[in-house]
Amino acid sequence: MQHKIPISKLGPLGDEMASAVSTCVHCGFCLAACPTYDQLGQEPDSPRGRIVLMKDVLEGNLSVDEASLHIDRCLGCLACEPACPSGVPYRDLISPYRATMEPVRKRSLIDRITRMMTSSTLPYPRRFRIAAKMGRLARPLAPFLPRSIGAMLNLLPDRLPPRQTWAATNPAIGKRRARVALLSGCAQSVLAPDINSATIDVLTRSGIEVVVPTSQTCCGALSWHVGNWKQAKRFAIANLNAFPDDVDAIVTNAAGCGSGMHEYGLILKGTQYEAAAAAFVSKVKDVSVVLAELGDPTAMPPRSELLRVAYHDACHLANAQSVRMQPRELLSRIPAVELLEIPESHLCCGSAGTYNVDQPEIAKSLGEDKVRHLLSTEPDLVATGNIGCMTQLQSHLAAAGSSVQVRHTVQILRDAYAGKL
């Protein structure tokens, strides 16, 4: 039996983990909300089961490696939080646990190589663009490579869109009603830079000045959610210094990034940046929230042809940030749009950061299920607010033989304003 680990030895995140563990009453309401429990049907692959495992590790009754199989399968989608009657802050447990325990884990050589590849490329747009181009050339070798590396290669698009850049300051059109700073993102700026262009277009059209800090970095969400605390801290501190204070909001247009930035208080817990992190987090808002709060000052051109749009809730928008109605409200403003709700919408699509690489079989099954439910609504178009979801859904729609396209909410709004929808 392992020796019990005193909370004081768990570092600055110990209190948060202990509180989250003690709040759970093991009622089981989380089971129906959990995607991995839905897929695998095993108690250790549910939030309740994982809390028991993490508690046993923290108390020294189980080794980190004995619990890792089931802990690693957690998507971090946080669907368990709105389902929990006791209000267990699962986010204060899963990521801090991974960050605290990662240094003592035993990982295989392949795992270490895969994590090194993702951590050294994905958060850095220039490196990621080069790596993606090289990876496409190696894709024919995917069936012969280790599972995780093969999955990584198969996720790469056939071609990358042209590189785009954005002005440091984008003036509001008409009377300025607000000033915001935009997180341009890392992987998204390579895979789908038009999302940022559409974001700036819609915001400035709405009378909002948009600043794009030139020294900003990756938000750190990818690092934090896989337990790379050191890298997550470095990114968080860099962004605290990069983003100006004299803005009304710090705008994100990727659910995972927004969720990660809202956790800067945890990431920087116990450091000299803790107070600054709290002030920073108070300003972080998804673009749909900013647009919904300020209202719509401009009219969209009329449309006569009905467009059926299925809205997919990105987990880190709906669950982590409680942003559900704002994107729906914005899309409903478009003339002749019928908004469709996807059955089983609370279940994750299987993207979840690097989950496609870490758990490719579960990610594939979740993606197939999501697309099956999505297509049952017979949509003309799919809207969502996260680049990971967009990539996952588009891939599985293509595999299902569907030509339905997936667009970011702001891309659809931008096209509606321009009369191109």
Which fold is adopted by the domain 169-293?
Rossmann fold (3.40.50)
Distance CA 259, CA 266 (A): 12
Q: Establish whether domains 169-293 and 301-417 are of one fold.
A: yes
Q: Give me the pLDDT at residue 9, please.
A: 57
Whole-prediction pTM value? Answer: 0.93
Q: Which residue type sits at 353?
A: G
Q: Enumerate the β-bridge partners of residue 340.
A: 310
In order of 175, 199, 293, the CA distances from 202 in angstroms are 15, 5, 14
Phi, psi of 382 (to 5 degrees): -115, 135
Phi, psi of 41 (to 5 degrees): 65, 25
Distance of CA 90 to the CA centre of its chain: 16
In order of 127, 133, 155, the CA distances from 138 in angstroms are 16, 9, 12
Does domain 301-417 fall into CATH 3.40.50.10890? Answer: no
Regions of the chain with pLDDT less than 70: 1-10
Query: In the chain, what are the domain boundaries?
Result: 7-104, 109-154, 169-293, 301-417
In terms of DSSP bridges, do strands 249-252 and 307-311 run parallel, antiparallel, or are they unpaired? Answer: unpaired
Q: Are 77 and 37 in contact (CB under 8 A)?
A: no
Q: Give me the pLDDT at residue 3, please.
A: 43
CATH of domain 7-104: 1.10.1060.10
Q: Give me the pLDDT at residue 255, please.
A: 97
Nearest residue to 175 (alpha-carbon basis) of 208, 210, 212: 208
Distance CA 171, CA 309 (A): 31
Query: What DSSP letter does each residue of 55-72 carry, written as one string?
Result: HHHHTTSS-HHHHHHHHH
